Amino acid sequence: MMWNWEQKNWPEFTYNSSALEVLEQRFIVESSKLIGASSIITDEQQQRFTIDLMSEEALKSSMVEGELLNRDSVASSLLRQFGLAPEYSDHRANDKEKGIAALMVNNYQTYDQPLTHDMMFGWHPCVVTRSFLIRDVGQYRTGEEPMQIVSGYEGRQKVYFEAPPATSVPEEMQAFVTWFNDTGPTGSNPLPPLTRAAIAHIYFVSIHPFDDGNGRIGRALSEKALAQSLGRPALIALSHVIEKTRSEYYSQLERNQKGLDTDSWLLYFANTTLDAAKHSQKLVKFIVQKSRLLERVGGQINERQETVLLRMFAEGLDGFKGGISASNYIRITGAPPTTTTNDLSKLVKLGALTKTGERKGSRYWLNLGRDFDSEK
C-alpha cells in the first residue's frame, strides 16, 4: 500500500473546491455572528468567555488523544498565563494541564505571526511529558524506526498509517511551513479559511514530525489558520466538536492518508468547523445568561447557594449531568438535609433553578430560559 506522502504528486492535495463554496460562505456568516455577539458583551463577560472556551478546548483536545485533564486546573493556569491571576495560583495543575494551557495562550497571542519551526518546537513540550518513550522533545523526531499508527496486540497489529522516515522530516516540514505561510490571507497563494485549515491539519499529521503530540499541534495549526482568516483569535470550539465525533475524525484521517484526494476530509472538517462556530455562539449566550442570573439573585442568596450555582455553571453548556440532587448539594456545601431543602426551594422560588421529579427523585436545573431582566 502507498501512503499519501509516497504519491508522485505529494503534497498536492486534490479536492473539489466548488463543493466547498457554500460551506465557506456559511463559515463567514457564522463567524461574523460570533464576532458580533462577542463585541456587544462586557469586558468581564468577554474574559469569561475566552477562559471558558479555551479551558474546554484544552480538555477536549486532550480527550481526543485519550487524556483526561482537570477543568479547574486548566482554567487557573490559563488565568495565570494571561496575567489575570497571581503567580502560583495554578499550583494544583499538573505539567500536562499547565502545558496545554501554555500552548493555547501562545497560539492566541501569536495567531497573526507567520508559522515557524521554532514556534512549533515551543509548542511541543507543552503537549508531551518527558519519558523513556519520547526521545525528542522540542524538536522533530530523529529515530530510525518507522513512525506508525497501529492498534491491536503485538503480532496481530493493524497499521493504520506510516509516516515519512525521520530523515526526510526536516525537508517535509520546511515545505509545510512555506505552504502554510504562502496560503495565508496575506500570502502569495491564499486559500479560503475552511480549505486551508482542513488541509493544514491533514498535511501536518501526515508528516507526523514529532514523536508524540502531533494531533494536538495539528489542531492548534488549524485554529491558527482560522484565526488568521478572521483577523483575530478564532475562539471556535473546534476540539469540542472533534471530540464528539472522535471515531469519524480518525476514520476520515485514515481514509484520506492513503491518497491525495481529500474531498471527504474537507467536507467533514468544514462541517465540523461550522458546528464549532455555532457552539461558540451558544457559549457567548450562556455567559450572558449566567451573568444575568447572578445579577438577578445577587444579595438574595447565601454563600452555599452561590457556591452551588457557580459549580453548576462550571459544567458549561452541557450542564450538571443528570441535574443536581439534594445529595449533590449536601456533598458540595456540607449543609444538613433541612437546610439543603430550604436552600434549593428558595433558588427555585427566585427563578435561578427549575425542579423536576419529587422527593428522592427531585433534580434541579439552571433556569437559563427565563428573561430575568423582565421580572419584577
Q: Give the C-alpha separation, 266 to 192, whole Å.
A: 12
Q: Give the C-alpha separation, 260 to 102, whole Å.
A: 34
Which residue has cell 443536581? 324
Query: Residue 218: CB partners within 8 Å, gap ≥ 6?
Result: 200, 201, 204, 205
pLDDT bracket for residue 203 (50, 70, 90):
very high
For 301-374, CATH number?
1.10.10.10
Which residue has cell 449533590? 328
pLDDT bracket for residue 325 (50, 70, 90):
very high
What sign for the dihedral angle of Cα 39, 44, 46, 47? positive
pLDDT, one tens digit per residue, over 175-187 is: 999 999 999 999 9
The CATH architecture one would assign to domain 4-284 is Orthogonal Bundle (1.10)
Tell whether the model's pLDDT for residue 362 goes beyond 90: yes
Query: Residue 39: CB partners within 8 Å, gap ≥ 6?
Result: none
Please say whether the beta carbons of 150 and 124 come within 8 A. no
What sign for the dihedral angle of Cα 18, 19, 24, 29? positive
Residue type present at position 180:
F
Share of the chain above pLDDT 90, in %: 66
- Residue 376 is predicted with a pLDDT of 32
What is the number of alpha carbons within 13 Å of residue 306 lying toward its C-beta? 11
- Residue 338 is predicted with a pLDDT of 96
69 or 89: whose pLDDT is higher? 69
166 or 313: whose pLDDT is higher? 166
Give the pLDDT mean for 309-333.
Answer: 87
- Residue 89 is predicted with a pLDDT of 78
All structural domains of the chain with their residue ranges:
4-284, 301-374
Q: Give the C-alpha separation, 55 to 45, whole Å.
A: 15
300 or 315: whose pLDDT is higher? 300
Give the pLDDT mean for 228-254.
Answer: 93
**Residue among 69, 98, 96 nearest 212 (CA):** 96
Render 212-250 in DSSP notation, one character per residue: S-HHHHHHHHHHHHHHHHHTS-----HHHHHHHTHHHHH
Give the pLDDT mean for 360-373.
Answer: 76
- Residue 86 is predicted with a pLDDT of 84
Q: Give the C-alpha separation, 166 to 210, whole Å.
A: 9
- Residue 369 is predicted with a pLDDT of 67
* C-beta atoms surrounding 280 within 10 Å: 26
Q: Give the C-alpha separation, 368 to 307, whole Å.
A: 17
Tell whether the model's pLDDT for residue 152 goes beyond 70: no
Query: Residue 264: CB partners within 8 Å, gap ≥ 6?
Result: 252, 255, 256
Query: Residue 185: CB partners within 8 Å, gap ≥ 6?
Result: 228, 229, 231
337 or 375: whose pLDDT is higher? 337
- Cell triple for 338: 433541612
Strands, E assignment, 275-369: 353-356, 363-366
Structural element, H or E, at residue 255: helix 246-256
Examine residue 11 and say whether the peptide bond preceding it is cis (omega within 30 degrees of 0): yes
Strands, E assignment, 65-157: 148-151
**Residue among 224, 234, 229 nearest 190 (CA):** 229
Residue type present at position 186:
T
pTM of the model: 0.85
